[in-house]
Homo-oligomer: A and B are copies of this chain.
Amino acid sequence: MFLIEAFVYIGTIAFAISGSLIAIKNNLDIFGVILLGMTTSLAGGVIRDLMIGNIPPTNLVYPQYFLVSLLASLATILFYDKINKFEHGITFSDAIGLGVFTAVGANAAISLDYSQPFLIVAMGLVTGIGGGVLRDVFVREIPFVFRKEIYGIASIAGSIALISTYELLSPTISLYICLTVTLTIRMLAVKWKWNVPIVHKKSTIKKRTVNF
């Protein structure tokens, strides 16, 4: 599990940076930048733990995730211009975060002996997107996952891959498969600008052509 633990830190850092960047763009103060970074990186896991009865939530018991998030926020504050330029790097880290958090969330549900596939997929999704949803709500944006590209779908596909391989292969291998599937779908969606179509209000479905 060593490698997946390392990935968790990468995901935490990526999510903290994404929250901090958005906080800075919204003129939040330094405390707000740190708090939004922390919310983005820790809240998904907290909500998942509430839902599966893992009390108190892991992310609030062990301070290392918060400390990593804090350092990532401080780095974002100090090196804002440089970090803001690495758009591709951030998107890639965020995709790793989505994949890792999905894998860890789905695995947490299985570890607590919840075997219902729907619950497992939901816990992967909640862990992967929960922090980002709160981040967007707090800065008054429609949450990203509702409106842009293949994001939630990548998480769901990853969890399904994890469930399908958990018994056949070892749990650790299925975690990596989940991470790989989520990350691959997410990055292909970014690269090829895949989007889920929006619903045209005259009942015809068309590809989204403009970003908003």
Q: Which of chain B's residues have a CB closer than 8 A to the CB of A148?
A: 29
Interface residues in A102-130 (C-beta closer than 8 Å to B): 109, 114, 116-119, 122-123
Q: Does A172 contact B (CB under 8 A)?
A: no
Q: Which of chain B's residues have a CB closer than 8 A to the CB of A122?
A: 60
From A2-10, A51-59, A91-99, A158-166, give the one contacting chain B. A51-59
Q: How far is the CA of A158 from the CA of B62 in the complex (A)?
A: 21
Which residue of B is nearest A66, CB measured? B118
Interface residues in A176-212 (C-beta closer than 8 Å to B): 195-199, 201-203, 205, 208, 212
Q: Separation in Å of the A117 CB from the closest CB of chain B? A: 8
B32 and A119 contacting across the interface, CB-CB below 8 Å: no
In the assembly, how many copies of this chain are there?
3
B116 and A33 contacting across the interface, CB-CB below 8 Å: no
Once A56-B119, A196-B30 are accepted as A-B contacts, the answer to whether A145 and B35 lie under 8 Å apart by CB is yes
Q: Does A152 contact B (CB under 8 A)?
A: yes
A153 and B51 contacting across the interface, CB-CB below 8 Å: no
Contact of A203 among B53, B61, B81, B137 (CB under 8 A): B81
Q: Separation in Å of the A162 CB from the closest CB of chain B? A: 17
A 42-58 to B, binary, CB cutoff 8 A, 1 in contact else 0? 00001000111101110
A60 and B56 contacting across the interface, CB-CB below 8 Å: no
Which chain A residues have a beta carbon within 8 Å of chain B's beta carbons? 23-33, 35-36, 46, 50-53, 55-57, 60-63, 66, 77-81, 109, 114, 116-119, 122-123, 133, 137-143, 145-148, 152-153, 195-199, 201-203, 205, 208, 212
Q: Give me 29 A-to-B residue pairs in the complex whose CB atoms sit less than 8 angstroms apart, sorted by A's number.
A: A24-B199, A26-B142, A27-B198, A28-B146, A29-B195, A29-B196, A29-B199, A30-B196, A30-B197, A30-B198, A31-B153, A32-B145, A32-B146, A32-B196, A35-B145, A51-B56, A52-B56, A53-B55, A56-B109, A60-B122, A62-B118, A63-B116, A63-B118, A79-B203, A80-B201, A80-B202, A81-B202, A137-B137, A138-B146
